[in-house]
Amino acid sequence: MVGVVIALQQLRDIKQTSIMELETRQAQIFWNTVDKAYSKEGLVHTRVLGNATWSSYEEWLELRRDDLEYDAAYLWLSQLYEGIGASVRLGHADIKLLAHCMPRSHLRWWERYRDVVYGQRKRLNTRRYRSEWEYLYNELVKYLEEHPELAT
């Protein structure tokens, strides 16, 4: 009997340790992403993206073709969110972290580029183009609907 109690206690301790390790890994992934976003490179890219304008998918394609600085910035941003989305989908990052840290900013980028992404999917004939970024957006919207106190 004593052996069963000790075994159950050990299993509980192992489970708690595993949960703590997972939460630590998720926080590390999140903070690595934050560091990347707020690095000098990230801030420059964000400024380039924020100043760019286009009124159609075709204009956006021209902008990417003609402006290498913009093209690099777009690739940086879209790949950043693609990676975060994949991390959330695979359980390596928790959507709660994004929801608690400037959720409107994350939503705004997808909303700005959604039509461009859809245009690229059509042109490239692939539904997977930036699908993890879209997944991230949808999960964040869903989480914020469940937690309206964060959706400010």
pLDDT of 94:
87
| Rounded distance between C-alpha atoms, residue 136 and residue 123, angstroms | 22
DSSP notation for 130-146: THHHHHHHHHHHHHHHH
pTM here?
Answer: 0.79
Share of the chain above pLDDT 90, in %: 57
pLDDT exceeds cutoff 80 at 149: yes
Write the pLDDT tens digit of every residue in 83-125: 999 999 998 888 988 888 878 888 999 999 999 999 999 999 9
Query: For residue range 37-66, what is the model confidence (pLDDT) as tens digits?
Result: 668 888 899 999 999 999 999 999 999 999
pLDDT band at 16 (very low <50, low <70, confident <90, very high): low
Percent of the chain residues past pLDDT 70, beyond the cut: 74
| DSSP-derived secondary structure for 74-117 | HHHHHHHHHHHHHHHHTTSS-HHHHHHS-HHHHHHHHHHHHHHH
Q: How far apart are the first and last CA of the chain?
A: 54
Q: What does the alpha-carbon distance between residue 57 and residue 121 come to, in Å, rounded to a whole number?
A: 12
Confidence grade of residue 78 (pLDDT, cut at 50, 70, 90): very high
